[in-house]
Amino acid sequence: MQNDYYFEDQEWSPEPDRVSRSWIMLFLFLSLLACVTLAVLVPGGLGFWAGYTQLQAQNHENAIQHFQRGLGYLAENYPELAYTEFEISVRYDPGFDPAREKLQEMQAMFGGAGTPGVQEENRVAAVLFDEARALVAKKAWDDAINRLEQLHALNVNYQTQEANDLLFQAYSASAKEAVAAGQIELARERFDSALTIRSNDAEVQRQRDLAVLYLDGQQAVGYNWPVAIQKFTALYQQDPNYDDVKRRLVDAYTQYGDIAMKQNASCLALREYDGALAIIKDASISDKRAQAMTLCRQAIVATPTPTLLPGTESYITTRNVKDVTKACNSGTGDVSGVVRDALGQPMANVWVAYYADGVNRVSARTNASGQYQFVWGADPGLFHVIILGADGKTPTAGAAADIQYPGANKAGCHSVVDWQKVQ
């Protein structure tokens, strides 16, 4: 009797499972491909839409600007120039109704002829030129610039040489008036515009450079006092009466000195207060200088002087001068020299070091010719140069060579200190 649960043996075939797996793999692949495609296309599409929207907004702003300029020309009775501005406005934004309406009004005014012809354009150019010349004669520089720029926008080839001469004169004079009014940024822009007409004018270039020094110094105020001092000093040396450069330079010296005092760099602060007092006499700055002088002297006196013991090496300075043959324009300064023995022969491998307020000791050995050199940065200060013993740590007997470093790019930034062994 056959069992109810008996099934007839059938030959097993893997084909159905294999086909099923193939469909699953295909589905997964297509899903992954769809995800990747969406990941690429969606952000790209959004980016394109955002860029398109931004461009539309910019075009609308430009349309408004040219429309307003056209209204200004209408108010000044220059319908031809106004027509051109309204045309440009509509090109930027064809859907900007105010510009379209004005353009239609003016087309009707011109009898449907559209843009004014060459004859009418020349008539307007002549009017603009004559008005500009009269305004220059009255020294109404800004109005003259406006008329001449309108003339160039209408017809750049109209009376080119004389128009450029008038525009150069107006730019230069307007820039000088801007300096007198303390509008240095505007002055620089006017000088730049003048130089586009006459790039080799030495006086305009000089005035432009002065404005740049002022603006560079102004930009450095509050975060880079040495640069501010450098820029204002260069300007003050060329023109002490330039705007408020005197006040700004004194303030920069004082502020930098105050910061140095807070950082316990009293000798550096002394230097900055001296710089301020060299320009102006001020009781409060004098009091700060006196305090800095006291602390600076205390710091120097507090430096331990090694006791000369039998057999201890001792050196003296044979020269401590400024090397005026080297230019101070590289952004760094230095101290260099030669160490000699008692017979005057160069000594190799001798330890030389320097230190200052707020500056840890820096040391180096002399070369085979007994020479050494230390490069210093932009900041001024009082530096002390000494000779160390064979261990490279212990100061030898003898006084330190004190060097009042003026800072980089200032006269006296290169010093020479020679040494000779006496014991």
Contacts of 197 (CB under 8 A, 6+ apart): 164, 167, 168, 171
Say if strands 414-421 and 333-340 run parallel, antiparallel, or are unpaired. parallel
Contact 193, 169 (CB under 8 A): no
Question: What pLDDT was estimated at residue 308?
Answer: 45
Find the radius of gyration of the CA atoms of the chain: 39
Question: What pLDDT was estimated at residue 7?
Answer: 43
Pairwise CA distance, residues 222 & 252, whole Å? 9
Which tokens hold the place of 25?
């793999």
Q: Does residue 396 have a pLDDT over 60?
A: yes
Which tokens hold the place of 5?
């649960």
Contacts of 372 (CB under 8 A, 6+ apart): 336, 337, 338, 339, 350, 352, 364, 365, 366
Question: What pLDDT was estimated at residue 423?
Answer: 60
Write the burial class of residue 199 (CB in 10 Å: 0-12 exposed, 13-18 middle, 19+ buried).
exposed
Contact 256, 226 (CB under 8 A): yes
Residue 170: closest CA among 189, 153, 188, 190: 190
pLDDT one-digit tens code per residue, 318-373: 777 777 677 787 778 889 999 988 777 899 999 999 888 767 788 889 998 899 98
pLDDT one-digit tens code per residue, 186-236: 999 999 999 999 999 999 999 999 999 999 999 999 878 888 999 999 999
In our burial notation (b when 16+ CB lie closer than 10 A, e otherwise), range 380-399 reads bbbbbbbbbeeeeeebbbbe
Q: Does residue 311 have a pLDDT over 50?
A: no
Domains and CATH numbers, the chain: 118-217 (1.25.40), 221-301 (1.25.40), 315-421 (2.60.40.10)
Question: What pLDDT was estimated at residue 85?
Answer: 76
Contact 195, 208 (CB under 8 A): yes
Question: What pLDDT was estimated at residue 341?
Answer: 83
Q: What is the 3-state secondary structure (H, E, C) of the chain?
A: CCCCCCCCCCCCCCHHHHHHHHHHHHHHHHHHHHHHHHHHHHHHHHHHHHHHHHHHHHHHHHHHHHHHHHHHHHHCCCHHHHHHHHHHHHHHCCCCHHHHHHHHHHHHHCCCCCCCCHHHHHHHHHHHHHHHHHHHHCCCHHHHHHHHHHHHHHCCCCCHHHHHHHHHHHHHHHHHHHHHCCCHHHHHHHHHHHHHHCCCCHHHHHHHHHHHHHHHHHHHCCCCHHHHHHHHHHHHHHCCCCCCHHHHHHHHHHHHHHHHHHCCCHHHHHHHHHHHHCCCCCHHHHHHHHHHHHHHHHHHHCCCCCCCCCCCCEEEEEEEEECCCCCCCCCCEEEEEEEECCCCCECCCCEEEEEECCEEEEEEECCCCCEEEEEECCCCEEEEEEEECCCCCCECECCCEEEEECCCCCCCCEEEEEEEECC
Which tokens hold the place of 124?
């307007």
Contact 86, 107 (CB under 8 A): no
pLDDT one-digit tens code per residue, 117-155: 566 677 778 888 888 899 999 999 988 888 888 888 777
Measured in residues, the chain has a length of: 423
CB neighbours of residue 144 within 10 Å: 25
Q: Does residue 78 have a pLDDT over 70?
A: yes
Please, which pLDDT band fits residue 76 given cuts at 50, 70 and 90?
A: confident
